[in-house]
Structure 1
Amino acid sequence: MRNFDEGVFRNAREALVFALNYRGEQFAKSTLAVMAQEGSIGSGRGLHGLDGAATAAIVKAKLERLTEPGLAALIASCSLPGTDAWSAAIEEMQRFVCNSPTFATMHAELVELCVRKHFGERKTFSEIADAVGMDRVTANRKGLLIKAELDRLQAEAWSDFDESLRPALIREDY
């Protein structure tokens, strides 16, 4: 039986993935399924129906309190490449990087491809360099600078998001 003093998720990433993928109807049980489980003790987390919807709403509300680039970084890192949420988050990250004084003079297409690579699109720096007409070594060097900035931004966003989940007892390890 589940101890209700524990959190629902092991970490902030698990909570975010749940919230981004939650669909109310996906956890509904048929009458036959409910009858079949009569008397059984489940080990699930109870995230179906209204409990699941409420938990997803709490997590999303905490997520929306982050800054725009932080919000986009977490959504891009937890969404599947090619989905609408991932694409919108990638566009926001590109805008953020391009508007940063450090990267303002960088080739916009290089920034776009490096951001996409960072968040899951499978490309090599040779392919990126060829796409933007740049030397591979130069593209790699600039790509590593972009990656370092994205890593810093993600770490900051995860820390803020994780801290916001503490009062809601969403995580187990508190």
Structure 2
Amino acid sequence: MNARHEGIFRSAEEAITFACNYSSQQYAMSPMAKLLQGPARGSGRGLTGLDGAGQSGMVFRELETLDYWQMLVLVAGKAIRSESCNCLSPCCRGWRMTELFRESVSQLADQVAREARDVLPVKAFRVAVLRKHFGDKIHVLDEAEKLGIDEHPANRHATTIRKWIRELEKKGLTALSERLDAVGMLVRTT
């Protein structure tokens, strides 16, 4: 396995996941802390500290070159979906959607209504389908029932939304893979 160029990420998905989950609160460990930690457990790819922050920024820069909706769907799919909440309100149960995820899903729900045919005009339902697609543990049919939508139309419209979002993801990943490969960020074998 001979590498053509020294990339850092094995795939565009790995790059997006890293960039979306890179913590801005990471800090350099003191030499004593490193000794106490034991043997190094890193990937050896230089994705910590300022190098990691730089790589994260470079991935986001390449994401910005994509179509807006492709970028949004890729970020929504890999962004942290929830964060702890200390409001003690019974509605959130100690967790709430992150602002990035909430806004991404909201915008995608509006866009699917504009682009896909035969989609219900109920934004809350479209949001529920998208949240489920991105990994939230919600039951779309339960949400449909709460909104007064029958099961058959709910299933049909959910299928349309899922098909639209998958196609958008596929195009976005293809475009991002090409961009990351062109700038040498993907490990490429001959």
- Which residue, out of 122, 128, 143, partners 1:128? 143
Structure 2 gaps of 5+ residues are 82-96
Q: Which amino acid aligns with 1:8?
A: I
Structure 1 residues 115 and 24: alpha-carbon distance in aligned structure 2, compared to 1, 3 A threshold: closer
Q: TM-score, normalised by structure 2?
A: 0.77
Confirm or deny that 1:95 pairs with 2:87: no
Identify which range, 164-173 or 57-66, moves more after superposition: 164-173
Alignment of 1:1-174 (within 5 A): 5-33=5-33, 44-81=44-81, 82-100=97-115, 102-103=117-118, 106-174=121-189
Identity %: 30
Q: Which has the higher helix share?
A: 1
Structure 1 residues 108 and 84: alpha-carbon distance in aligned structure 2, compared to 1, 3 A threshold: closer
How many residues end up aligned between the 2 structures?
A: 169
How far is the alpha carbon of 1:169 from its aligned partner? 2.0
Tell me the secondary structure at the aligned position of residue 58 of structure 1.
Answer: helix
Structure 1 gaps of 5+ residues are none
**Equivalents in 2 of 1:134, 1:63: separation in Å?**
36
How far is the alpha carbon of 1:4 from its aligned partner? 9.9
Q: Which has the higher strand share?
A: 2
Structure 1 residues 141 and 163: alpha-carbon distance in aligned structure 2, compared to 1, 3 A threshold: same
Q: Is the 8 A contact 1:24 1:48 kept in 2?
A: no
Q: TM-score, normalised by structure 1?
A: 0.83
